[in-house]
Amino acid sequence: MSLPTRQIGPFTVSAIGLGCMNLNHAYATPPSEAEGTALLNRALDLGVTLIDTAALYGLGANERLIGKAILHRRAEFTLSSKCVLDMVDGKRALDGSPAAIARTVEGSLGRLGTDHIDMVYLHRLDQRVAVEESVGALVRLKEAGKIGAIGLSEMSAATIRRAHAVHPIAAVQSEYSPAVRNPEIAVLQACRELGIGFIAFSPVARGLLAGAVRSADYAQHDIRATMPRFIEPNLSHNLAIVDAFDALAADAGCTPAQLSLGWVLSRGDHIVPIPGTASIAHLEEDIATLGISLDQAVLAQVDTLFETRPIRGARYTAAMQAQIDTETFAGEDFARP
């Protein structure tokens, strides 16, 4: 199957990609290896050509799953992974030093079972290391033929510009949805000016705009159980906004997830959302968005809803926010230590 495409750096990819974190990381009990394998192959069958993973996900299990499940179909997709965040001695570690980056990428290559990754992101900014040094490490890996392009994740416009001055950045990845608008502060404009693609992760707001959150009764190990906007006293306020959003989707004749993805797609041709899911039914629902035409009036109603009734609560806990370089709105800063 062939899907509409968009350009991200040197790559032509499907207008919706697949974020693979859900298959091994952060959202309660992951699917079995067989279920994850089936979902990855179904994504390729549907025409998805951007597969996104990271060294951190599942302590490397996500990369091993992808290597085992779909690397035999390598010619069908663009593969991206991430460094700087990794597991060291069983613990999550942030290290943007050139040595750590080289070590992480070598580990990713081994787990994936390949000698080349199309794009590698700096997963987070290590404030102890100049971003120029971290980008330089990726430039050397590119020159060695181990990676094809360089990306940045959760970084500010100022950092993006510094990194891009060292070497052209192919893509910037950050959270973006009708409910999460931080990239609009400065990052999207910087990407447009510099010709950088934008990869929107969590484009359905970690399930909030896809009917997946109705209470704070999360399963064990669900990352949302500690995130301020997903717990009280903020959640009840936010769910009332979600009810209004769901009504807009119903009036538009689509699901809430499709309305959210359609809205993200409408924000610019350089933007590619990468929803994640462990459900083939949800995957098919997400990809079906590309066959839906949303009226501009509906998209305007979405804007009005979240502008007049903004989501309450920070995106991350204080500890997590300490590793985030992306600009924040007033009211989010309390999440910083």
In a domain, 324, yes or no: no
Q: Residue 87: beta bridge partners?
A: 92
As for how many domains the chain has, the answer is: 1
Q: Residue 80: beta bridge partners?
A: 52, 119
Residue 119 burial (10 A CB sphere; 0-12, 13-18, 19+): buried
User: Catalytic amino acids?
Assistant: 57
In a domain, 52, yes or no: yes
In a domain, 302, yes or no: no
Q: What are the pLDDT digits (tens) for 286-319?
A: 999 999 999 999 999 999 999 999 999 999 988 8
Q: To which residue do tokens 């979902």 refer? A: 39
Is residue 152 a contact partner of residue 121, using CB atoms and an 8 Å limit?
yes
In a domain, 144, yes or no: yes
Q: What are the pLDDT digits (tens) for 138-187?
A: 999 999 999 999 999 999 999 999 999 999 999 999 999 999 999 999 99
| Domain containing residue 56 | 5-208+264-294
In a domain, 197, yes or no: yes
Please give the model's pTM, rounded to 2 decimal places.
Answer: 0.96
Task: For residue 79, give the CATH number of its domain.
Answer: 3.20.20.100
Closest Cα to residue 124, out of 325, 328, 282, 331?
325
Report the C-alpha gap between 31 and 268 in whole angstroms.
33
Strand order from edge to edge, sheet including 18-19 = 18-19, 50-52, 78-83, 117-122, 147-153, 171-175, 197-201, 271-274
Count CB-CB contacts under 10 A for residue 291: 9
In a domain, 254, yes or no: no
Is residue 309 a contact partner of residue 244, using CB atoms and an 8 Å limit?
yes
Is residue 229 a contact partner of residue 264, using CB atoms and an 8 Å limit?
no
Q: What are the pLDDT digits (tens) for 246-260?
A: 999 999 999 999 999
